[in-house]
Amino acid sequence: MDHQTELRVAELLASRLCHDVVGPIGAVNNGMELLNDGEPDMAEDALKLATQSAQQAADLLQYYRMAYGLAGHRQGGDLKPMHDLAVRLFAHHKASLDWSATAMPAGLPDSAGKLILNMLLLAGEALPRGGTVGVLFAEDEGMHEIQVVAVGADAGLREETRAGLADDVPVAELTPRSVQPYFTKQLARAMDGRLEVAAVGPGHLRLTAKLPA
């Protein structure tokens, strides 16, 4: 990846992060404005709105710090912190997370957790009406296999997501919506692995990362 490509991807990921965080930050401001209005019957609701929105913004920033930043690489093969971040993120999501804290296989590459966080983002976006996102691990022909499954009504990838996952997508055509799937695929490639996406059936989407053991 040349410097111009790296710069564009970094800029687009920053745009994506800011877009996702601005909503809860705005809600915090709205809650504080309601509190400042001094209406006694609105105080409890305003405080609740500000508190919940502040927590959502904090959870998003912690998640993206690991999913997009160097911190995710430095975490090593320990998936427990990634699991805990995912649990907090999906607490604010329409979809629920099915990932047991005991499902933590050993021997995964150091950046596997970072890859899982990005796969979870793709799976969550594939469930606009809610559902369940699960995480499974297996070994297949000497490869580590990480599966993230999205099950729910109308489960499927957005057009921009499909574009970002395409093998021949020009970086100049990436958008803040398509850059994250592109980034996810590049993470798998950087570990000498590959990312596959398949519709298993109606309302059932499966993302599979195959990484060298």
Q: Any residues with CB less than 8 A from the CB of 212 and at least 6 apart, and which?
A: 109, 142, 143, 144, 191, 192, 193
**Residue 27, both tokens:** 């809600």
**Strand 194-201 to strand 204-212: parallel, antiparallel, or no bridges (unpaired)?**
antiparallel
Q: Which of 191, 198, 199, 170 is nearest to 182 (CA)?
A: 170
Tell me if the pTM is above 0.85.
Answer: yes
Spatial distance between the Cα atoms of 120 and 181, rounded to a whole number of angstroms: 11
What is the pLDDT at residue 76?
A: 65
Burial of 38 (0-12, 13-18, 19+ CB in 10 A): exposed
The superfamily (CATH) of domain 3-212 is Histidine kinase-like ATPase, C-terminal domain (3.30.565.10)
What is the pLDDT at residue 89?
A: 96
Domain extent listing, the chain: 3-212
Cβ atoms within 10 Å of 76's Cβ, excluding its own: 13
**Strand 96-98 to strand 132-140: parallel, antiparallel, or no bridges (unpaired)?**
parallel
Write a three-state SS string for 136-193. Answer: EEEEECCEEEEEEEEECCCCCCCHHHHHHHCCCCCHHHCCCCCHHHHHHHHHHHHCCC
Mean pLDDT by 10 residues, the chain (213 residues): 82 94 92 80 84 94 94 79 95 94 78 95 95 92 92 94 93 95 96 94 94 88
What is the pLDDT at residue 99?
A: 94
What is the pLDDT at residue 43?
A: 83
Q: Which of 84, 82, 87 is nearest to 67 (CA)?
A: 82
Q: With H, G, I as helix, E, B as strand and everything else as coil, classify residue 95.
A: coil
**Residue 177, both tokens:** 């919506």
What is the pLDDT at residue 196?
A: 96
